[in-house]
Amino acid sequence: MSSGQATVNAAREAVAAVVDPEIRVITIADLGILRSVEVEPDTGRVVVTITPTYTGCPAMDVIRADIRRALAVAGHPDAEVRTVHSPAWSTDWITDAGRAKLAAAGIAPPAPVRRDGVVPLTLAVRCPRCGSPETEQLSRFGSTACKALWRCRACSEPFDHVKAL
């Protein structure tokens, strides 16, 4: 492995460990907003590309600062963080490990979104605590803009559900 590839791997490992500031149980890699980690061949500078979960996401400034901090600790104090909006982030980018982490934390992960022209319709969300499909949406808005508030009719517990995008 070349030293350039070793640098990319080490930088990606450092960045991939950054947690989402709004959903502290999941990393930005598991959330799917980490698009790439590269090293500019002429300068050796690390460049990280991220995509927000939605335009105007208030957590992006914190995420960029956390990425820069993680890279500085890893020996890359002059790293650049680029934000791209196209293609737009999708909940399909959440990894299986990320979905499992969300469920373990009591947050219902979104179902995969179909991209074949079919519009997904969420009729029920399984309770992340007891697994019951007997749930109801209380509010389209949850603890963050990317989540909705639901309640389980079986165990009576409220829970957040990550909205499918």
Predicted confidence (pLDDT) at residue 73 exceeds the cutoff of 90: yes
In tens, the pLDDT along 74-91 reads: 999 999 999 999 999 988
**What per-residue confidence (pLDDT) applies to 145?**
83
- Distance between alpha carbon 65 and the CA centroid of its chain, in Å? 16
Classify burial at 131, counting beta carbons within 10 Å of its beta carbon; exposed 0-12, middle 13-18, buried 19 or more: exposed
Per this entry, what is the length of the chain?
A: 165
In tens, the pLDDT along 96-125 reads: 999 999 999 999 998 776 666 665 666 789
Predicted confidence (pLDDT) at residue 44 exceeds the cutoff of 90: no
What 3-state DSSP class applies to 30? Answer: helix
Task: Share the mean pLDDT of the chain.
Answer: 90
User: Domains of the chain (ranges plus CATH)?
Assistant: 3-89 (3.30.300.130), 92-162 (no CATH)
Residues in a beta bridge with 83: 50
Single-letter amino acid code for the residue at 95? T
Listed in sequence order, the residues at least 6 apart from 103 whose beta carbon sits closer than 8 Å to its beta carbon are 109, 128
Question: Other CB atoms closer than 10 Å to residue 49's CB: what's the count?
Answer: 15
